[in-house]
Amino acid sequence: MTRVVVLSGAGLSAESGLGTFRDAGGIWQKYDLEEVATPEGFARNPALVHEFYNARRANCLAARPNAAHHALAALQQRLGDRVTLVTQNIDDLLERAGAREVIHMHGQVMRAQCAHCGHRWDAPAVMDPSDPCPACEHPATRPDIVWFGEIPYHMDAIGAALAEAELFVAIGTSGSVYPAAGFVREAHINGARKLELNLEPSEGSALFDDTRLGPATEIVPLWVAEMLAAEG
């Protein structure tokens, strides 16, 4: 009865047309992350930050889940709460593939929050700095995204899942941003097997027992099929 924790990154959604960050032509080569993905950048120029996330929200709305998203949803549907899906991605493609209770440790681009009162709600397609918060009416709305320098969400739940995991699988992540990049070590300490599914070796590949290289839409469905066959 294998308990699995799956950590996904931008590579899971790359074949759905959503950009990665550090590959050639990645998002951080087009935008200065200090300007669009930090609280300081938001304080300096909220309109620029909303413009950045409005564009990413539009890309997300136009995108469709790929075979890797569907495979992970099928794995969770079959194994239930023995599968914990943790993602660094802010898109909703796993949910749109049928996954439930996805742990978005970096937030969700389809959600908004109020920087004044903390209220959260489903984001409109286009957000603007002058939007009033639906709860306190302050014009302090921001995307419900965890920016650099902020504390990722759901770390307690992720730690609890890693403590129980017999298998830790990292999919489509460069392993360059903490705390997510440290989850493989936590899994190792807890005695879990560690598998990496990625297009190319990541910064943390040496920490995994096994690394399989290829596009997520090919190698993730193959891995899920193996898991479902083994679980009977």
Active site positions, annotated? 106
- Residue 86 or residue 123: which is nearer to ligand APR going by CB? 86
- Residue 200 or residue 231: which is nearer to ligand APR going by CB? 200
β-pairing, 120-122 vs 107-114, is antiparallel
Q: How far is the CB of 172 from ligand APR (least distance, A)?
A: 4
- Residue 2 or residue 217: which is nearer to ligand APR going by CB? 217
Compute the distance between CA of residue 192 and CA of residue 5 in angstroms, rounded to an integer. 10
Q: How far is the CB of 20 from ligand APR (least distance, A)?
A: 3
* Site of interaction with ligand APR (CB under 6 A): 9-11, 14-15, 20-23, 26, 88, 106, 172-174, 176-177, 198-200, 202, 215-216
Residue whose structure tokens are 């898109």: 91
- Residue 6 or residue 133: which is nearer to ligand APR going by CB? 6
Q: How far is the CB of 164 from ligand APR (least distance, A)?
A: 24
Cβ pair 11, 180 in contact under 8 A: no
Residue 115 is classified by DSSP as: T
Compute the distance between CA of residue 125 and CA of residue 85 in angstroms, rounded to an integer. 26
Q: Cα dihedral sign for 85, 91, 94, 98?
A: positive
Q: How far is the CB of 111 from ligand APR (least distance, A)?
A: 15
- Alpha carbon of 145 to those of 4, 64, 199: distances in Å? 26, 21, 26
- Residue 26 or residue 139: which is nearer to ligand APR going by CB? 26
Angle at Cα 12 formed by Cα 67 and Cα 63, nearest 5°?
A: 70
Nearest of 190, 2, 166, 175 to residue 79 by alpha carbon: 2
β-pairing, 4-8 vs 167-171, is parallel
Q: In this chain, which residue has its C-beta nearest to ligand APR? A: 11
The dihedral over CA atoms of 160, 163, 168, 173, expressed in degrees to the nearest 10, equals 50
Q: How far is the CB of 135 from ligand APR (least distance, A)?
A: 27
| Residue spans of alpha helices (H) in 145-192 | 155-164, 183-189
